[in-house]
Structures are given as C-alpha cells and as structure tokens.
Amino acid sequence: MAAGDLWVISHHRSRVTRLDSASWVRHGDQPVVGRGASDIAAHENLIWVAVPRRGEVVLVDARSGHVEARVEPPVEPVRVALGRSGLWVAGHGASDDDPDVVLHYDRAGAQVLHRAVFRNRISAITLGDGAVWVAFESEPRIVRLSLTAERQLGATPTGPASALVFGGGHLWATVPEDEAVARVDPGTGQTVARDGAREPGQIAFARGRVYVADTIDHSVLILDPKHPRDEPESLPMPLNPYAVARGAGHVWVSGLAHNTLTRLDF
C-alpha cells in the first residue's frame, strides 16, 4: 500500500499492478519492473521491488507510478525491507558456496557502507524495534542486526522461519516445518510457538492481531496475542492464499491459484 493505492507484484508479469484501494480498478501507470519479481516493500510514497531474474531492485514513485531507479546489487536480490532507515536488500550468492548478503541502501538507492554476510540461505527479512531481522531457509535461527548491520541478540525458533513481521512490540515468524507461528521477544530473544496453520505462508500484523495465510487449508488464521490460549479464527479464502498485507484500514490477501485479491475488514 502506497500513495493510497494497492501495488501487486506477479512472478509471471513484467508490470506491477496498481489498483485504486476503494474501487479496485486499475488506474494510472502500471510500472514495468521485469518478470520474476519476488518481493515488494513500500514506505510513504516509495516502492522497491526485488527482481532476481534481472538481478535488480527497482524503485517506483507511488505518486506518479514511474520507475525512478534500478539498482544492481552484487548478489541475486530476493527480499527487501523499507523504512525510515532506508532500503535493506537480502540476496543469494551466485552459487551454493557463495554467502548470502544483507545490503543497506538509502531510500533513493545509494549504497550505505553497511552489510552483513551469512553462510546460510536467507528466507525473510523485516524491520522493527530499531533493527533488521533476518531468517534462513534451512536453519532455525533468526538474527537481529543493528541499523549499522552489527549482529545483536537473535532468536531460535523450533524450525526455519519463512516469513517475518514486526507488530505489537514483538517479532512474528511463520514456521512451516512445525505448522506454527512463533512470537519473539525483541529484548530477550525468547520465543513462544503457537500451533494452528498447516502450511503458514506470509504474515501481517494489524489492529493488534496477527493474520497468517494458510496455503493448504485455503484460509487466513487470525491470532489474538491477548488471548493466546484461544483457538485462532479461521476465514476461508480463494485457493492458495499466500501474500498478506495491511493498508487503507484493511488486510489484503492474494490467492495464487486464480490470481485473486481478497479484502478483510478488521
């Protein structure tokens, strides 16, 4: 969500779809970023899109819909996070023997001399509590980085995390291996897992609740952190819900099977 519009990427399409958040109608420029987009991040009127196939991270002005810059990191960019601290890019090395890297850029795309190197493949990245949080594909570990890319206290969930979001004073992570959602205390790294989703996908935090896409059960689970013993609410979705995001007073869920977009009112 940026500049009052919804922005939706597709792995198979070269354009980012721009929708009016009230009417859901396409309007304005539909910027061309290239096929194979893997992640999108927005903050205020800026949007950055990771396009691994092209080896680029693309900057879009959300007001005009114009592509303003294309940055070519020295790694294959797969995940992006954007905030006041700037743009953070997580990328895979050229081969399995090359390390993954987290790179820091300013909001306009100029590289800042901060980076962190990891021997394991990065699965997710997010910002929160004045830090950058990084999860890995095959290791049950979440690393906390300072805004100068120095390693700080991390966390150890029960399995590898596939998605991260910060909200309500905690870090939240989906752990598909255990069909669970983990809550991480950012100060101590203490982790508490909660079962529920058969195959948890992406995750969002809105109005004090956690929204998790369950790809196999074709549903979105809603967890209330204030009542951790209660069964999560389950809302049926179009087939294979995946991405979850908040914006314009709603939660938005994409469906992979039929290219759907569902709005949840909270």
Do 114 and 203 belong together in one domain?
Answer: no
Q: What is the mean pLDDT of residues 248-264?
A: 93
Is the model's pLDDT at 195 over the cut of 80? no
Instruction: Identify whether 55 is part of a domain.
Output: yes
Is the model's pLDDT at 196 over the cut of 80? no
Is the model's pLDDT at 72 over the cut of 90? yes
**What's the mean pLDDT when you consider all of the chain?**
94
- Pair of tokens at residue 264: 């949840």
Is the model's pLDDT at 21 over the cut of 80? yes
pTM > 0.75: yes or no? yes
| pLDDT per residue as tens digits for the range 213-249 | 999 999 999 999 988 778 889 999 999 999 999 998 9
Residue 242 to residue 40: CA distance in whole angstroms = 14
**Secondary structure (3-state) at 263:** strand
Is the model's pLDDT at 193 over the cut of 90? no
By CB atoms closer than 10 A (0-12, 13-18, 19+), residue 217 is middle
- CATH code assigned at 100: 2.130.10.10
Is the model's pLDDT at 259 over the cut of 80? yes
Q: Which of 92, 119, 146 is the last residue of a domain?
A: 119
- CATH code assigned at 250: 2.40.10.500
| pLDDT per residue as tens digits for the range 162-171 | 999 999 999 9
pLDDT reported for residue 96: 81
- Check: CB of residue 14 under 8 Å from CB of residue 53: no
Do 208 and 115 belong together in one domain?
Answer: no
pLDDT reported for residue 160: 96
- Pair of tokens at residue 265: 């009112």
Instruction: Identify whether 157 is part of a domain.
Output: no
- Check: CB of residue 163 under 8 Å from CB of residue 203: yes
pLDDT reported for residue 140: 96
HEC-encoded secondary structure of 91-102? EECCCCCCCEEE
Q: Which of 65, 95, 119 is the last residue of a domain?
A: 119
User: Which domain does 26 fall in, by range?
Assistant: 1-119
Break the chain down into helix, strand, coil percent, rounded to 5.
0, 55, 45
Please give the tally of structural domains in the chain.
2
| pLDDT per residue as tens digits for the range 124-137 | 999 999 999 999 99
Is the model's pLDDT at 194 over the cut of 90? no
Instruction: Identify whether 179 is part of a domain.
Output: no
Instruction: Identify whether 73 is part of a domain.
Output: yes
Instruction: Identify whether 43 is part of a domain.
Output: yes
- Check: CB of residue 100 under 8 Å from CB of residue 118: yes
**Secondary structure (3-state) at 177:** helix
Do 100 and 210 belong together in one domain?
Answer: no
Q: Which of 60, 89, 119 is the last residue of a domain?
A: 119
Instruction: Identify whether 221 is part of a domain.
Output: yes
CB atoms within 10 A of CB 45: 13
Do 3 and 88 belong together in one domain?
Answer: yes
pLDDT reported for residue 113: 92
Instruction: Identify whether 190 is part of a domain.
Output: no
What are the residues whose beta carbons fall under 8 Å from the beta carbon of 188, sequence distance 6 or more?
153
Most confident of the following: 109-118, 187-196, 219-228: 109-118
Instruction: Identify whether 173 is part of a domain.
Output: no
Do 114 and 6 belong together in one domain?
Answer: yes
At 54, phi and psi to the nearest 5? Answer: -95, -5
